[in-house]
Amino acid sequence: MRSITILSVNLYPLHLPFLEPFITSFGEEPFKAGVIVEVTTLDGIHGWGESPVEVYPGYGAETVVTGLHILEEFLVPNLSGVMINHPTEVPALLAHVRGNAHAKSGLEAAIWDAYAKTNHLRLADLFALSLPPGHGSRNKAVVGVSIGIMPTLEKTLEIVRKRVAQGYARIKLKIKPGWDIDLARAVRAEFPDIMLMLDANSAYTLADADHLAQLDEFNLLMIEQPLGHEDIYDHSQLQPRLKTPICLDESIKNLNDLKLALQVGAIGVLNLKPGRVGGFTESLRIYQHCAENNVPLWIGGMLESGIGRAANVAFASLPAVSLPCDISATDRYFAEDISEPPFVLNSDSTLNVPDGDGIGVQVIGSRIAESVDRWTDANSF
Ligand code: OSB
Ligand code: MG
């Protein structure tokens, strides 16, 4: 395989309007924010990545402003002019910075894309080359849809009807105290057979165990991150009190967290977000551990633009990803994305892995520029 040398790195703040408000237990996502990373190699190849940092530090600690700062001041300078023999070398080159997994992941993703393009491989096929035989891409990702907290139950039911009619085979509903049992009951009553799950984004404590056990009657696929965003121990105490499997999102920042959670019985299912664990290198280690230990696994989302979405679809097409992923079609999020073509839902609730090299979607320069302008307008006082 051909190595790459990093000539330059450009960073673009992302600001894309959503078609539908997205409200979670930690607040509203006012628009799709993030940092887009463009890596240019000595050969003139452009690699693209997306750091899924947010406007508010409500899901994780990182924001767009911390992401830009950490990338610009500390991460990018360590890569300029550096020759990279394989993208899995990148985490070691960024290890001098503690934390900041979301920021790191976008830079690593851009290098994965540049490397795949240099070697005329789809990103999905490059991932498979880092795995044992038998882990080739299925060329599509099985997906579901994540629905935010709505003003009323009726409004939620309307959206669920729309998404089911569009072909989504798995529905995830955001919950919080006071927006949980009745919600699950109403959706389950109308859709007795659909794959249904809930995501609390850390809105409960162990003292709510009896309350959460009331959700067991709704035959849920899983309940995602009910307790503290850094907690593993309390989840291990909660799981024996529930029939519903616990899925961890926020709490699992690396492979060691997963091993600990498995050891103490805190986790039944893993939501793997490449951004949350610092990128695709750590994601591949986690993937392999799940494959070897039969841990149910799916790929989560952060409402990414087409750049992050394309890379996540590639990863989600790997065969040990055993449950539907939080990666929906482009029209669930945006009227117009920053890349083309849009991702379209197939009738079997899947998205196709694009055919081209690397992430396989075309980044539209004028839309990146418009997105940067919107960010700048919103942040100039
Ligand atoms: O907890 O999974 C989450 C979006 C932003 C922050 C946290 C979460 C989410 C989602 C989005 O659920 C899922 C998607 O990208 O469609
Ligand atoms: Mg979640």
Atom of ligand 1 nearest to the CA of 225: 1
| pLDDT, tens digit, 9 for 90 and up, residues 254-305 | 999 999 999 999 999 999 999 999 999 999 999 999 999 999 999 999 999 9
Cβ of 250 less than 6 Å from ligand 1: no
Cβ of 171 less than 6 Å from ligand 1: no
d(CA 8, CA 173): 41
| pLDDT, tens digit, 9 for 90 and up, residues 157-208 | 999 999 999 999 999 999 999 999 999 999 999 999 999 999 999 999 999 9
pTM over 0.95: yes
Tell me how crowded residue 34 is: count the other CB atoms within 10 A of its CB: 29
Give the closest residue to 199 by CA, choosing from 321, 300, 332, 349.
300
- Greatest CA separation found in the chain? 60
How far does CA 222 lie from the centroid of its chain?
17
**Pocket probe mutation, ligand 1, options 19, 176, 276, 326, max atoms within 8 Å of Cβ:** 326
Q: What angle do CA 119, 367, 357 make, to 5 degrees?
A: 15
What homologous superfamily does CATH list for 129-362? Enolase-like C-terminal domain (3.20.20.120)
Helices 255-263, 280-293: axis angle to 10 degrees equals 30
With a cut of 70, say whether residue 124 has pLDDT above it: yes
3-class SS of residue 307: helix
State in Å: Cα 169 to ligand 1 middle.
Answer: 17
Q: Mean pLDDT, to the nearest integer, of 114-133?
A: 98
Query: Into which CATH architecture does domain 4-120+365-378 fall?
Result: 2-Layer Sandwich (3.30)
How far does CA 133 lie from the centroid of its chain?
25
Q: In the chain, what percentage of residues exceed pLDDT 70?
A: 100
Domain boundaries, the chain: 4-120+365-378, 129-362
Query: Could you say which ligand is closest to the alpha carbon of residue 304?
Result: 1
The token duo for 200 is: 């609390």
d(CA 66, CA 101): 11
d(CA 113, CA 98): 24
d(CA 341, CA 34): 20
| pLDDT, tens digit, 9 for 90 and up, residues 316-358 | 999 999 999 999 999 999 999 999 999 999 999 999 999 999 9
Is 172 in the active site?
A: no
d(CA 2, CA 184): 52
Question: Which pLDDT belongs to residue 199?
Answer: 98
pLDDT band with cut points at 50, 70 and 90 for residue 64: very high
State in Å: Cα 349 to ligand 2 middle.
Answer: 20
Residue 345 and residue 167 in contact, taking contact as beta carbons nearer than 8 Å: yes
pLDDT band with cut points at 50, 70 and 90 for residue 381: low
State in Å: Cα 76 to ligand 2 middle.
Answer: 29
The token duo for 55 is: 């406007």
